[in-house]
């Protein structure tokens, strides 16, 4: 009836025995903020902090004028004699003491000080690192206590060492990595000898079969090289959230964490249920991050009123849900998945107040679901030509701020993060570029309204499973070693609702836990489309701020090792030239928003020389407000900004014609030209010299849904493969694009592998049919079964399995996940990848476009994994089914022929049977998907497959390429007729 999960009965009688209260909350949590120690009591002695017009503060505005959260310099105003603010990221200043003067004048002549200095010296001589609170943290010759209790008995604040990194690289154990690399080299050698044997030993009586098999094997070898060597130096990373908190988010002080804008993209509310989108939004609004630093933007690219109305309901429910989450520190903070947990809470001592509040909140959520499902029931489908206004004019686009400006508080009176609904303008005759265009519109809108220094995008079905995910990303983005050159932090995708055995490899464990870890040791993982935190400056097309070591020439040895060590022989002119082309640090003057109509003014002389106003508009578009925001590297909004002007400008930047004659989609933002805009966007950033980081926190940062139905899964893979073919045939192809010395060799190989893998479907399909052909004709691709041939085959298979086993050893992936990945590689290669090759060629060469299909994200309403057994007809099912039938027929034919021919024919038969069974075993999950729950295959699939198999068999008999003319004459003579 309606899309969403079913409603449970009123009351919580079903929770008497089980609940989800284990380790759910922490009562030791402060809610209030105290006066800062550095803040003087005389408020008049402080310089006033700039505010927006009419004294109102806008979410995303910089809360305090400190060097950390303002990327501007104050150029006017009288000197202020207030207590200086100590930046926690900078070392503590040391007082210079003149020994000729009396120490009492410095406050160092008291007995307490002398005793503490003597104690410090004694413990330092004994190499004792741990000191008592009274003597800890002294500096020789100075009066600045670092930690512990001062001479006046006051508690002193802990000062963080800015030299300490907020993350560390955890290399894979050498006992795991060295054998792995040795086996790779051995496999490469064995593969070379195997191919040499295959090429030099043709099969004369089955030359076409031999030639096809050799071509396929050579392609498989090249494909393996592209996939294997980017995994040469895998690494893991560990973050230190305590250091991030100590450095940027201390209790009692204004948070210095960078503002973040979170993007949620949705298109069709019928395929992407509003309840799922609402859960994602609720998990964002309740993250553990300063509320004035978080803004959530929801892109409704389908212009559906259902999405707008459901988001309005979500904003109201968030006023109750967010304080409940933060009060009890529950995980996850998406209510649908939180209440679905079944945990026995009777084992732990839970305060009755929590149980009562939880039950009340669950009833509130059930009522919220009823309201959402009622909206779904009465929703109107969006017209194909889009919505129009009452006067007939096209839909102009819409922006609605639900939370964060006026009245954006929860039931406890605390501020909530800003929630903004965005529906960009769409008109006939304009190219809207699907998801990439929607994301670029969000970049501009967010820059105008809040201008967070960093962006994080998630699909509407990927909720925050870890409330500290933003802080995990900031451990890299705000780190002194990584921040200036990191374009994005990619999190792995994890999924709910997958069947126990993951029949169609929906989890992609091999890709996320093996391939991306390998890339993290080179230049960083590829962008996978969701769960990624971006540096806004990287999306603007700017180059990173690199060190001398990063500017070294990109030689092969450096690329293979992934080394970033500093070289003393770097060409100084080369470095100066590259630095001159880059942007300066984040010390730029403030823009005067009153001069918007006259153009962007107030830049310093250096920026005025680099870019004129005309070139800025050509690059970013004709929006002075947006152009001004691009120069504020630390985010935030300038002072004296009228919110009405911002909203008017936000509507302007989402208009259809805004991107005309600009660099949007070419060099700025999400890159156009492929349905898989994620790969293309990440590749452009890496080609400019940026690095990316792969962050895998112990608790998965995000969780989403995946299609468990066979047809939906194949259509999803088809879309990915089609995007790769589009990139392969474009000017941004990694094979020939970006040779400027900034993209590492192994990183390039990884990108080449991501775009050429659909082409493997052609040799794979041929190789899967070869066993059946050999069984039907009695021929084989190997001249004779000799010991020499058997040796190379055995060694090759041993090296393949050894490589896989050692990969599982250092990555922690289970052998079942690895085997499912191998099976679906064959299933997808003989179906979706094959169609993608032909569709891509038609689209690029003939201009025949294919429709973008949104993957269904509906819940199972008919039981657990009911979607798994539903059959949905698609032409993608025909090729694998044909391969299955042909191989089964071949096995029957080969065994029958061996029985009739005698004992001597069984030896050659085993080799043919091995390859045929290899194909069938890999296609077994596909066969189960065809049979469904009732073990019945739809008639249309059987008819098409038998028809194709029959046509193939009849053509083969008619052509009969392996029968000589003399043998044909003898056969005709035996027939007695003119055959």
Residue 616 has what pLDDT? 81
Token pair of 383, please?
A: 């017209």
Residue 340 has what pLDDT? 87
Which residues 6+ apart lie within 8 Å of 240 measured at CB? 164, 165, 166, 167, 168, 475
Burial of 907 (0-12, 13-18, 19+ CB in 10 A): exposed
**What's the rounded Cα separation, in Å, for the pair 57 and 213?**
70
Average pLDDT of the chain is 74
Residue 776 has what pLDDT? 84
Residue 922: its H or E element: helix 906-922
Q: Where are the beta strands (DSSP E) in 814-955?
A: none
CA-nearest of 866, 867, 821, 858 to 709 is 867
3-state secondary structure of 886: helix
Token pair of 946, please?
A: 């038998």
| Rounded percentage of the chain residues whose pLDDT exceeds 70 | 65
Residue 454 has what pLDDT? 94
Residue 853 has what pLDDT? 56
**What's the rounded Cα separation, in Å, for the pair 114 and 112?**
6
Confidence at 864, pLDDT banded by 50, 70, 90: low
Phi first, then psi: what are they for 820, rounded to 5°? Answer: -65, -35
Cα radius of gyration (the chain): 33
Average pLDDT of the residues in 783-808: 85
Residue 21 has what pLDDT? 44
Residue 504 has what pLDDT? 85
DSSP 8-state assignment for residue 53: G
Residue with more model confidence, 65 or 807: 807
Identity of the highest mean pLDDT range in 187-196, 735-744, 947-956? 187-196
**What's the rounded Cα separation, in Å, for the pair 93 and 146?**
11
**Whether 678 is catalytic:** yes
| Residue from 292, 678, 712, 817 carrying the catalytic annotation | 678
CB of 284 closer than 8 Å to CB of 296:
yes
**What's the rounded Cα separation, in Å, for the pair 201 and 205?**
12
Lowest-confidence segment of 77-91, 378-392, 513-527 by average pLDDT: 77-91
Residue 681 has what pLDDT? 92
> Which residues make beta-bridge pairs with 399?
422
| Residue at token pair 């970049």 | 443
Average pLDDT of the residues in 593-612: 47
Q: How many helices (H) and strands (E) does the chain have?
A: 31, 15
Residue 753 has what pLDDT? 93
| Residue from 68, 300, 301, 459 carrying the catalytic annotation | 301
Confidence at 143, pLDDT banded by 50, 70, 90: very low
Residue 19 has what pLDDT? 47
> Which residues make beta-bridge pairs with 149?
155
Strand order in the sheet with 454-459: 398-403, 418-423, 294-300, 260-266, 454-459, 532-535, 486-490, 691-694
Average pLDDT of the residues in 847-858: 60
**What's the rounded Cα separation, in Å, for the pair 920 and 902?**
26
CB of 554 closer than 8 Å to CB of 743:
yes
**What's the rounded Cα separation, in Å, for the pair 715 and 721?**
10
CA-nearest of 335, 261, 260, 271 to 307 is 271
Residue with more model confidence, 146 or 829: 829
Does pLDDT of 637 surpass 90? no
799-808 in b/e burial notation, b at 16+ Cβ within 10 A? beebbbebbb
Confidence at 642, pLDDT banded by 50, 70, 90: confident
pLDDT tens, 672-720? 988 888 899 999 999 999 999 999 999 999 999 888 778 888 888 999 9
Residue 158 has what pLDDT? 47
**Angle, CA 469 vertex, CA 561 and CA 492 arms, to 5°:** 50
Which residues 6+ apart lie within 8 Å of 96 measured at CB? none
Residue 377 has what pLDDT? 84
**What's the rounded Cα separation, in Å, for the pair 154 and 156?**
6
CB of 69 closer than 8 Å to CB of 62:
yes
Residue 520 has what pLDDT? 92
**Whether 301 is catalytic:** yes
Residue 755 has what pLDDT? 93
**What's the rounded Cα separation, in Å, for the pair 651 and 654?**
6
**What's the rounded Cα separation, in Å, for the pair 902 and 891?**
17
Is the preceding peptide bond at 583 cis, omega within 30 degrees of 0?
no
pLDDT tens, 373-401? 888 888 766 666 555 665 666 667 788 88
Give me the helices (H) in 540-697, please: 556-561, 572-581, 605-610, 613-620, 624-630, 643-653, 677-687
Residue 395 has what pLDDT? 65
Does pLDDT of 559 surpass 90? no
Residue 949 has what pLDDT? 65
Does pLDDT of 609 surpass 70? no
**What's the rounded Cα separation, in Å, for the pair 932 and 426?**
41
CB of 514 closer than 8 Å to CB of 234:
yes
Which residues 6+ apart lie within 8 Å of 703 measured at CB? 332, 337, 462, 463, 465, 494, 495, 496
Token pair of 910, please?
A: 């085993």
CB of 71 closer than 8 Å to CB of 588:
yes
**What's the rounded Cα separation, in Å, for the pair 502 and 804?**
19
Longest Cα pair distance anywhere in the chain, in angstroms? 129
Average pLDDT of the residues in 104-123: 50
CB of 277 closer than 8 Å to CB of 266:
yes
pTM of this prediction?
A: 0.75
Lowest-confidence segment of 192-196, 484-488, 495-499 by average pLDDT: 495-499
Which residues 6+ apart lie within 8 Å of 732 measured at CB? 671, 673, 680, 683, 684
Residue with more model confidence, 82 or 704: 704
397-418 in b/e burial notation, b at 16+ Cβ within 10 A? bbbebbbbbeebebeeeeebbb
3-class SS letters over 163-213: CCCCEEEEECCHHHHHHHHHHHHHHHHHHHHHHHHHHHCCCHHHHHHHHHH
Identity of the highest mean pLDDT range in 305-309, 589-593, 847-851, 857-861? 305-309
Which is it for the CA torsion 48, 49, 52, 56, positive or negative?
negative
CB of 403 closer than 8 Å to CB of 633:
no
Residue 386 has what pLDDT? 59
pLDDT tens, 890-937? 888 888 777 777 666 676 778 788 888 899 999 888 887 777 654 455
Confidence at 331, pLDDT banded by 50, 70, 90: confident
pLDDT tens, 401-434? 887 765 577 777 788 899 999 988 887 777 888 8
Residue 950 has what pLDDT? 65
């Amino acid at each position: 009836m309606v899309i969403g999960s079913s409603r449970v009965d009123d009351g919580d009688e079903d929770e008497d025995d089980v609940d989800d209260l284990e380790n759910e909350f922490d009562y030791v949590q402060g809610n209030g903020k105290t006066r800062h120690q550095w803040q003087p009591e005389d408020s008049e002695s402080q310089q006033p902090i700039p505010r927006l017009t009419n004294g109102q503060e806008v979410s995303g505005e910089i809360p305090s004028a400190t060097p950390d959260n303002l990327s501007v310099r104050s150029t006017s105003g009288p000197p202020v004699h207030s207590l200086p603010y100590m930046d926690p990221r900078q070392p503590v200043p040391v007082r210079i003491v003149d020994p000729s003067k009396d120490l009492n004048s410095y406050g160092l002549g008291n007995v307490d000080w002398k005793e503490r200095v003597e104690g410090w010296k004694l413990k330092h001589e004994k190499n004792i690192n741990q000191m008592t609170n009274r003597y800890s943290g002294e500096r020789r010759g100075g009066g600045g206590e670092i930690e512990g209790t001062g001479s006046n008995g006051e508690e002193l604040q802990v000062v963080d060492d800015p030299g300490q990194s907020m993350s560390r690289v955890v290399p894979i154990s050498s006992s795991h990595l060295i054998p792995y690399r040795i086996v790779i080299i051995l496999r490469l050698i064995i593969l070379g000898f195997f191919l040499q044997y295959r090429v030099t030993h043709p099969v004369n009586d089955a030359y076409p079969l031999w030639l096809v098999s050799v071509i396929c094997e050579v392609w498989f070898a090249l494909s393996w090289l592209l996939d294997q060597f980017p995994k040469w130096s895998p690494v893991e990373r560990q973050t230190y959230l305590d250091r991030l908190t100590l450095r940027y988010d201390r209790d009692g002080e204004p948070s210095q964490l960078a503002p973040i804008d979170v993007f949620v993209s949705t298109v069709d509310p019928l395929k992407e249920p509003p309840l799922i989108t609402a859960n994602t939004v609720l998990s964002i609004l309740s993250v553990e991050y300063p509320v004035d630093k978080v803004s959530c933007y929801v892109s409704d690219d389908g212009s559906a009123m259902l999405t707008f109305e459901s988001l309005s309901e979500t904003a109201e429910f968030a006023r109750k849900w967010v304080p409940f989450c933060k009060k009890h520190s529950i995980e996850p903070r998406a209510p649908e998945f939180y209440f679905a947990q079944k945990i026995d809470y009777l084992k732990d001592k839970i305060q009755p107040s929590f149980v009562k509040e939880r039950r009340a909140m669950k009833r509130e959520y059930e009522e919220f679901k009823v309201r959402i499902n009622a909206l779904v029931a009465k929703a109107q489908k969006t017209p194909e030509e889009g919505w129009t206004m009452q006067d007939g004019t096209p839909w102009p686009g819409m922006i609605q701020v639900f939370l964060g400006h006026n009245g954006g508080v929860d039931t406890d009176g605390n501020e909530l993060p800003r929630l903004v609904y965005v529906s960009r303008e769409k008109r006939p005759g304009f190219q809207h570029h699907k998801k990439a265009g929607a994301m670029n519109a969000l970049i501009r809108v967010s820059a105008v309204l809040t201008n967070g220094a960093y962006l994080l995008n998630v699909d509407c079905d990927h909720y925050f499973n870890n409330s500290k995910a933003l802080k995990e990303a900031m451990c890299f983005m705000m780190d002194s070693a990584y921040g200036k050159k990191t374009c994005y932090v990619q999190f792995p995708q994890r999924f709910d609702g997958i069947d126990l055995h993951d029949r169609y490899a929906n989890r992609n464990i091999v890709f996320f836990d093996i391939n991306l870890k390998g890339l993290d040791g080179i230049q960083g993982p590829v962008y996978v489309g969701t769960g990624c935190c971006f540096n806004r400056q990287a999306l603007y097309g700017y180059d990173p701020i690199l060190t001398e070591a990063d500017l070294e020439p990109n030689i092969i040895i450096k690329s293979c090792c992934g080394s970033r060590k500093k070289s003393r022989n770097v060409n100084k002119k080369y470095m100066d030239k590259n630095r001159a082309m880059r942007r300066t640090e984040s010390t730029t003057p403030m823009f005067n928003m009153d001069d918007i109509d006259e153009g962007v003014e107030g830049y310093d002389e250096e920026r005025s020389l680099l870019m004129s106003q005309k070139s800025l508009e050509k690059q970013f578009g004709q929006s002075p407000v947006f152009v001004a925001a691009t120069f504020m590297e630390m985010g935030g909004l300038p002072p004296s900004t009228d919110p009405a002007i911002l909203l008017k400008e936000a509507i302007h930047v989402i208009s259809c014609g805004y991107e005309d004659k600009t660099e949007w989609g070419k060099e700025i933002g999400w890159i156009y030209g492929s349905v898989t805009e994620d790969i293309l966007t990440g590749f452009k950033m890496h080609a400019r010299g940026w690095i990316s980081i792969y962050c895998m926190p112990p608790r998965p940062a995000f969780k989403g849904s995946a299609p468990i139905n066979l047809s939906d899964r194949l259509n999803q893979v088809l879309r990915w493969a089609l995007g790769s073919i589009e990139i392969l045939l474009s000017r941004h192809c990694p094979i020939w694009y970006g040779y400027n010395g900034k993209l590492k060799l192994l990183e390039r190989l990884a990108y080449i592998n991501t775009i050429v893998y659909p082409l493997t479907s052609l040799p794979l399909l041929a190789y899967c049919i070869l066993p059946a052909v050999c069984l039907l004709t009695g021929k084989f691709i190997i001249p004779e079964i000799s010991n020499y041939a058997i040796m190379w085959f055995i060694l090759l298979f041993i090296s393949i399995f050894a490589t896989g086993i050692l990969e599982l050893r250092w990555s922690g992936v289970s052998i079942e996940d690895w085997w499912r990945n191998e099976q679906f590689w064959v299933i997808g290669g003989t179906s979706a990848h094959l169609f993608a090759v032909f569709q891509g060629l038609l689209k690029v060469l003939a201009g025949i476009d294919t429709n973008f299909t949104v993957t269904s994200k509906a819940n199972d309403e008919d039981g657990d994994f009911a979607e798994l057994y539903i059959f949905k007809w698609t032409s993608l099912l025909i090729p694998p089914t044909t391969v299955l039938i042909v191989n089964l027929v071949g096995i029957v034919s080969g065994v029958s022929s061996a029985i009739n021919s005698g004992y001597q024919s069984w030896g050659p038969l085993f080799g043919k049977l091995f390859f045929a069974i290899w194909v069938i075993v890999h296609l077994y999950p596909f066969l189960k998907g065809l049979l469904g729950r009732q073990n019945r295959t739809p008639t249309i699939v059987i008819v098409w497959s038998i028809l194709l198999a029959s046509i193939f068999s009849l053509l083969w008999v008619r052509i009969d390429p392996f029968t000589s003319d003399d043998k044909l004459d003898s056969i005709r003579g035996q027939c007695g007729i003119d055959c």
